Amino acid sequence: MKGLILCAGKGTRLQPFSNHKPKVLLPVANKPIIYYCIEMLVELEIYEIGIVIRPDHSAVFMEEVGLGERWGAQITYIYQNVSLGIADAVRHAETYLNNHSFVLLLGDNLITQSLEGLCHSILMDNHDAAILLGKVSNPRDFGIAEVHENQIIGLEEKPAVPKSNLAILGAYAFNPSIFEAIHSISPSARGEYEITDAIQWMIHKGYAVVYQVTEKNYSDVGTMERWLEANRWMLQLLNDAGQLNIENRHKGCTFISPVLIDTDSELIDCVIGPYVTIGPHTRLENCTIENSILLDGSQLTHSLETISNAIISPQSIFVQNTGGSHR
């Protein structure tokens, strides 16, 4: 079984931060989002991993991800010149997958549910497709599954009138029959080749499509708000697991857990937390910060007001508040 991670999206809703690096390389709890995807595949003993990227992102992926050495994996980059949907991205990987079953992950989705059950459905139970679902409060923003008597009877991408609140969370397992479906569908009204249409085609043709519902944490890190949300719950998970042990080497600082501070940072007379991640090469003095992400190289001094619900880099600042958001 192989792994496939899709990372060719433009990340327009994460601009201006995604102008400086692909959105899947932006950090949650000081770790690029795509690292979580790779680690999830390696935990399944999947070491052959294809990553679909834009050609102009090749250099930064080689620098920050490489060829998989740090995970003991073998990463192959597959290029998609124009983003025409998830199914189109998978089609670009058909030669690489070479008739293997595979796990498909969307690189900007952060999932904590083990995918062992999806793999078992394909490898042991001989199903053709398995998808991970989760209940959401905003089903119009997702691909939605309609389920009847424990069977998926319909899928729809971002429906105007959702038939359920069960969203497709960006984790799938397929056998090679998915390519027959992908080659059989047409572009949607959005002009994209939708993976939901391909799976719906399989359902209509009688292929065995199964699902698993998770109640564990997940986030589609596609907006600023979801990025902050993902950072919050990941910090809480790490803290609950005893993995956020802060050595208070910073002069005059107070920390309110959970917080995560890169060792290559300097803080003086600050109050930090809760839910704050501080990246490398950051210098803060006389600041009070909560529920925020400070990216590599951020510099702040003598802030008179509490900084809250913010994402900060040397180039950009995003602040979310009750009256809206601004950058």
User: Could you read off the pLDDT of 33-42 as tens digits, one per residue?
Assistant: 999 999 999 9
pTM: 0.94
8 CB neighbour count, 10 Å cutoff:
24
What 3-state DSSP class applies to 131? strand
pLDDT given for residue 325 in this prediction: 46
Cα of 247 vs its chain's centroid, Å: 29
Span 286-308, mean pLDDT?
93
In sequence order, which residues have a C-beta less than 8 Å from that of residue 301 and are 6 or more positions away? 283, 284, 285, 286, 287
262 CB neighbour count, 10 Å cutoff:
15
Q: Which residues pair with 168 in a beta bridge?
A: 133
In sequence order, which residues have a C-beta less than 8 Å from that of residue 261 and are 6 or more positions away? 246, 250, 255, 267, 272, 277, 278
CA–CA dist 240, 245 (Å, integer): 11
Span 270-297, mean pLDDT?
96
Span 202-224, mean pLDDT?
93
pLDDT given for residue 22 in this prediction: 94
Q: Copy the structure tokens of residue 296.
A: 């590599």
Span 234-256, mean pLDDT?
89
What single DSSP character describes residue 57? G
Contact 59, 84 (CB under 8 A): no
Span 147-163, mean pLDDT?
89
In sequence order, which residues have a C-beta less than 8 Å from that of residue 121 and are 6 or more positions away? 127, 130, 173, 210, 212
pLDDT given for residue 316 in this prediction: 87
Segment of 68-82, 149-163, 304-318 carrying the highest mean pLDDT: 68-82
Span 19-34, mean pLDDT?
95
CA angle 150, 156, 157 (to 5 degrees): 135
pLDDT at 324 exceeding the cut of 70: no
Span 153-170, mean pLDDT?
90
Q: Which of 215, 213, 231, 234 is nearest to 223 (CA)?
A: 231
